[in-house]
């Protein structure tokens, strides 16, 4: 029994072909949308690529870009096919192409769904990438004269100012690294030398943060140093202290930023997938209806269209029987024809048994 069986008249088949032609052209626009979303996401990720440990997250925008280009090509061809399918004679040109086209479109539609799901599943990978990348960027913050790292200070400062964040998970992360370059330290000062010697790794650690951590909402001048010493800033009340620095870590700020973008893109791609699935279903109905009217031999007659010719249970049973019969081909132990000589073999044996007399 066919799945989703629908009967179409000649006028309904023509109307379906025209509607699908229009929907395929709309799908070309959705392909351009997919391409634009992938390009936008790639630019957004590369904008802060210096504070990410790896570019493995780029597979999502690359997939959207590729899928968008494929959508433009496939749906352009689909519009041409559907327009020709309004005429039975023109349909004969595409009869052999229709099934491979539907299979390719099905896999393409599956890729669109996979792209939508990836937008929601990339959060954990992005979080780890940001954590490691920000940690390395903060470690090399002071290396402004080192090739390959000289722009990291500017990048981190712009990040903290733009996203109103400080450090990796919080402003105290700056206490654990040396973020001031050695060339700006007064090595003649005993306090500086003692602090360098007190650290096992020889780093100049301090309870201070870069200027970019300062909150623009603070009503008083920013306090950047001796943040752990409450007695050093006795004239600041508790409320002013809370407003002095950005409290949120940059990892969480960037993660929220990208998560919002991913969720919006994922929802858009999911809607595009539903639309493409609708178009694919319509093309399948058109293909089966046109093939059935060719079997009837009269283009003016009604014809049936369906999604699947047989139910899923019947298809599974049929495939199981095929596999089962293939297995029987190798079972020769119970074959009744084994060891039964043929007539040609019997004649050959009889001729060998005849003794020809030798004349002296």
pLDDT in tens, 180-196: 888 888 777 787 888 78
Question: Do 222 and 295 sit in the same domain of this protein?
Answer: no
Among 209, 143, 144, 149, residue whose Cα is nearest residue 173: 209
Shortest CA distance to 138 belongs to which of 182, 113, 169, 115? 169
Q: Report CA-CA distances (Å) from 5 to 275, 286, 312.
A: 21, 12, 14
Higher pLDDT, 334 or 116: 116
Residue that is written with structure tokens 């959060």 in the block: 123
Same domain, 48 and 169: no
In a domain, 325, yes or no: no
Q: Is residue 345 part of a domain?
A: no
Distance CA 285, CA 15 (A): 12
pLDDT of residue 307: 83
Higher pLDDT, 109 or 219: 109
pLDDT tens, position by position, 223-237: 888 887 777 666 666
Estimate to the nearest angstrom the gap between the alpha carbon of 301 and the chain centroid: 45
Same domain assignment for residues 229 and 135: no
Do residues 35 and 51 both lie within one domain?
Answer: yes
Q: What backbone phi and psi angles, to 5 degrees, belong to 150?
A: -70, -20
Q: Containing domain of residue 231, as a range?
A: 146-179+203-250
Cβ 111 vs Cβ 38: under 8 Å:
no
The closest of 47, 66, 112 to 258, measured between CA atoms, is 47
Query: Same domain, yes or no, for 298 and 166?
Result: no
H-assigned helices in the chain = 10-47, 59-84, 88-121, 123-139, 152-162, 190-198, 238-242, 250-296, 312-328, 343-353
- pLDDT by residue (tens digit) across 116-149? 998 888 888 888 889 999 999 999 998 887 777 7
pLDDT per residue as tens digits for the range 278-307: 999 999 888 888 888 888 888 888 888 888
Q: Are residues 157 and 89 in the same domain?
A: no
Average pLDDT, the chain: 82
DSSP at 221: P
301 and 159 part of one domain = no
Residues 39 and 117 in one domain: yes
Residue 19 and residue 109 in one domain = yes
Instruction: Collect all residues with Cβ–Cβ distance below 8 Å to 152 and sequence separation of at least 6.
Output: 50, 137, 140, 141, 143
Residue 35: pLDDT band by 50, 70, 90 thresholds? very high
Question: Do 164 and 214 reside in the same domain of the chain?
Answer: yes
Q: Is residue 51 part of a domain?
A: yes
Higher pLDDT, 114 or 203: 114
User: Looking at the structure, do residues 116 and 264 belong to the same domain, yes or no?
Assistant: yes
Using a pLDDT cut of 90, give the percent of the chain over it.
32
Region 329-350: what's the mean pLDDT? 52
Structural domain includes residue 296 = yes
Tell whether 286 and 213 lie within a shared domain: no
Is 339 a member of any domain? no
Q: How far is CA 340 from CA 329, 335, 336, 343, 348, in A?
A: 19, 10, 8, 10, 14
- Whether the CA torsion 127, 132, 135, 140 is positive or negative: it is negative
Among 250, 266, 286, the domain-final residue is 250
The count of domains in the chain is: 2
């Amino acid at each position: 029994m066919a799945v989703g069986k629908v009967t179409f008249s000649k006028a309904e088949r023509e109307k379906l072909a025209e509607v699908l032609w229009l929907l395929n052209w709309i799908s070309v626009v959705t392909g351009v949308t997919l391409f634009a979303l992938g390009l936008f996401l790639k630019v957004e990720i590369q904008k802060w690529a210096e504070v990410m440990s790896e570019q493995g997250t780029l597979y999502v925008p690359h997939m959207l870009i590729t899928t968008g280009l494929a959508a433009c090509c496939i749906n352009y061809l689909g519009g041409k096919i559907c327009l020709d399918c309004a005429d039975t004679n023109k349909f004969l040109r595409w009869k052999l192409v229709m099934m491979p086209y539907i299979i390719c479109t099905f896999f393409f539609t599956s890729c669109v769904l996979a792209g939508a799901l990836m937008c929601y599943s990339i959060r954990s990978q992005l979080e780890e990438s940001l954590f490691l990348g920000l940690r390395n960027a903060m470690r090399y913050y002071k290396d402004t004269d080192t090739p390959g790292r000289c722009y990291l200070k500017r990048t981190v400062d712009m990040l903290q100012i733009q996203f109103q964040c400080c450090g990796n998970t919080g402003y105290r992360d700056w206490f654990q690294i040396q973020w001031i370059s050695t060339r700006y330290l007064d090595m003649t000062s005993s306090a500086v030398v003692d602090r360098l010697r007190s650290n096992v790794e020889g780093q100049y650690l301090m309870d201070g943060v870069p200027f970019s951590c300062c909150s623009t909402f603070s009503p008083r001048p920013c306090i950047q140093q001796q943040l752990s010493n409450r007695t050093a800033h006795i004239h600041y009340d508790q409320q002013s202290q809370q407003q002095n620095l950005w409290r949120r870590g940059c990892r969480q700020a960037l993660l929220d930023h990208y998560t919002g973008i991913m969720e919006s893109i994922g929802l858009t791609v999911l809607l595009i997938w539903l639309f493409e699935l609708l178009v694919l279903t319509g093309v399948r109905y058109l293909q089966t209806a046109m093939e059935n009217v060719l079997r009837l031999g009269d283009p003016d007659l009604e014809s049936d269209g369906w999604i699947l010719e047989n139910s899923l249970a019947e298809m599974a049973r049929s495939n199981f029987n095929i596999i089962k019969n293939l297995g029987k081909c190798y079972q020769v132990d119970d074959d009744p024809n084994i060891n039964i000589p043929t007539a040609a073999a019997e004649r050959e044996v009889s001729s060998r048994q005849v003794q020809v007399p030798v004349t002296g």
